[in-house]
A and B are shown apart, each in its own frame.
Chain A
Amino acid sequence: MGWFNRKKKHIAPTTKKTVIPDGQWVKCDDCGELLHVKQLEVNSWVCLKCNHHFRIGSEEYIKILLDENSFKETEKKMRSANPLEFVDTKDYNERLKTSMKKTGLNDAVRTGIGKINGKKVAFAAMDFKFIGGSMGSVVGEKIARIIDKALENKIPLIIVSQSGGARMMEGALSLMQLAKTSARLTRLADAHIPYISILTDPTTGGTTASYAMLGDINIAEPKALIGFAGPRVIKQTIGRDLPKGFQRSEFLLEKGFVDMIVNRKELKDKISLLLDFLG
């Protein structure tokens, strides 16, 4: 064996990224099938051949889950203030500016009031493409305020999570958003207002360790990565490869942490049915 050969065979590189490339034709990350964007959009960004769920953002979830033109966005202008004046290899202000320009979003979550099959709901959807969907002060505050809106209007709450966890660049302030959002949810629970949490790929770290796991009903999309510690960290800790399917939706269903896995195409009707039961 050559000196350059990797000795530890059991450590494999982590999974590849999934992003929707620009242009009219897209290759499925899973089966490689070439699909037309229009075709995919009609199919809720689910591969027509292999059922792979493409990673989409708040804009798409608003279209897929809410009745047409029913979404009224709240706290649209809220943005990060860089309270720590955080600088790593890049200035946090710069990171924010770049992300805002690239995504057209102000932060990693959008909130508002909308309708699901005619029923009014308080709605939030996160965007992984904005600094890894990380939760800093803005995400925490927007989630807290949409919980307040649900409470005020006595309407159910739906949160679509997609996040790498708490945002490092706001230090302990980000961490406190876990407590802020979870604490606020107790009021909703006391008022007997239903909260349905939708976990999409990926939902990890502080987001999972707060509101994403606290739904009256937790629903996962197929094969989404859901967990607390990231797979890379766990792999380093235990020093071996992780079992196939570890921290995927199917694993969480088996271990008892989500109620069900629902195909994105059926998600709206499933939520609608559940809200029928819960009020």
Chain B
Amino acid sequence: MINNILDFEKPIVELEQKIEEMKKLDDNLDIKEEIKTLEEKINHLKKSVYENLTRWQRVQLARHPQRPYTLDYIYNMTEDFVELHGDRLFRDDKAIVGGLAKLGNEKVMIIGHQKGRDTKSNLYRNFGMPNPEGYRKALRLMKMAEKFNIPIITMLDTPGAYPGLEAEERGQAEAIARNLFEMSKMRVPIIVVIIGEGASGGALGIGVGNRVLMLENTWYSVISPESCSSILWRSWEYKEQAAEALKLTAKDLLELKIIDRIIPEPLGGAHKNQEEMAKILKEVLLEELAALKKMKPEKLVEDRIEKFGAMGVYIE
């Protein structure tokens, strides 16, 4: 665990360890009061730290190696998940997973980017960076959902669409463009949740929904802070400034009217309590789903086109 502690988490973790040590001490020592004071101090510290994170620190939390990924949410939130594979054209992309599941009493099609936890699984998942076949698989599953009138939930968590040679050969741009086009006109409800990293077209490629929700410690933008730094500052060193300039947090995006809602995470971030996080998300999804299910298919399509049509700020 100790390797996965972010800089700003350190004072908290140190205090927590101190309390653990004190609790192990002899019962005869009268230190209960002291422990209580320390615990209060920790809670106070946590609140002030997590309420005042910089944008870059939120990016770091969004990438936390212990953070729940799509399959974690699926296992913690749903029952009877049946994973479906392949785009029927080229192969099965492991960076996007999807399938049918039951969320409470609702049948849903859940599709999301999938990262790995260690080197081996990350290679298997291509670090959550899809190739065109990933987007085409997602589209196949969405069309199936539409055919059988099943609502769609997508989960975004990618450092970007894979910038490889074969990805270009197989039409990465066309695959993403096609998804934007087709998702716009799906006749079933679509709910999009950003659960980690929302990097550019690679994220948006499964991100056109009636409702777009963001977990508290996630980011969503046109480019990653690192790449932005390398292009505009011509150095990788300005990622903190780039993160600030890009205004990429949930709070920023709510203000810019790009997302509908921020979903709170357990204190310290989603990785501190995966089950609790899944519980919170499940409740939100069921609530949103109930509202969207009342809308007629034509209205859902119209709503989506108008929703994205309203995004943008310009002077006339």
Contacts and interface: CB of A to CB of B under 8 A. Distances in A.
Given A172-B220, A228-B163, A138 B314 contact: yes
A175 B221 contact: yes
Nearest to B253: A172
Residue among A80, A136, A176, A213 with max Cβ neighbours from chain B (10 Å): A176
Given A86-B245, A229-B167, A213 B311 contact: no
Interface in A203-242: 205-206, 208-214, 227-229, 233-234, 237-238, 242
A235 to B, nearest CB: 9
A175 B204 CA distance: 8
B248 A172 contact: yes
B8 interface: no
A166 B221 CA distance: 11
A212 B245 CA distance: 28
Contact of A78 (B171, B311, B315): B315
Interface residues of B, number: 56
A32 interface: no
A11 interface: no
A228 B256 contact: no
A244 to B, nearest CB: 13
A171 interface: yes
A183 B210 CA distance: 12
Contacts of A212: 173, 177
A198 to B, nearest CB: 15
B222 A166 contact: yes
Interface stretch (A56-64, A120-128, A184-192): A184-192
Residue among A75, A87, A180 with max Cβ neighbours from chain B (10 Å): A180
A170 interface: yes
Interface string A117-145: 00000000000000000001110110010
A79 interface: yes
Contacts of A214: 177-178, 181
B91 to A, nearest CB: 17
A264 interface: no
B63 interface: no
A135 B171 CA distance: 20
B290 interface: no
A11 B184 CA distance: 41
Contacts of B180: 178-179, 182-183, 209-210
Contacts of B301: 186
B60 interface: no
A172 B256 contact: yes
Contacts of B205: 209
Contacts of B309: 144, 180, 183-184
Contact of A178 (B204, B228, B241, B248): B204
Interface in A157-205: 166-168, 170-180, 182-187, 189-190, 205
Contacts of A211: 177
A138 B313 CA distance: 8
Residue among A185, A211, A213 with max Cβ neighbours from chain B (10 Å): A213
Given A172-B258, A211-B177, A228 B167 contact: yes
A84 interface: yes
A94 B78 CA distance: 51
Contacts of A175: 200-201, 204, 220-222
Contacts of B162: 237
B232 A180 contact: no
A78 B201 contact: no
Given A213-B173, A255-B171, 18 more contacts: A88-B241, A89-B232, A168-B223, A171-B221, A176-B258, A176-B312, A178-B177, A179-B184, A182-B180, A183-B308, A186-B184, A206-B201, A213-B171, A227-B172, A228-B167, A229-B168, A234-B164, A256-B171
23 contacts: A79-B314, A83-B256, A89-B233, A137-B313, A140-B312, A166-B222, A171-B256, A172-B248, A173-B312, A174-B222, A176-B312, A177-B311, A178-B176, A179-B207, A179-B208, A183-B309, A185-B181, A186-B181, A190-B185, A206-B222, A228-B173, A228-B201, A242-B165
Interface of B: 161-165, 167-174, 176-178, 180-181, 184-185, 200-201, 204-205, 207-208, 220-223, 228, 231-233, 238, 241-242, 245-248, 252-253, 256, 258, 301, 304-305, 308-309, 311-316
Q: Which 4 A-B pairs have the closest CB atoms?
A: A229-B163, A137-B312, A182-B180, A183-B184
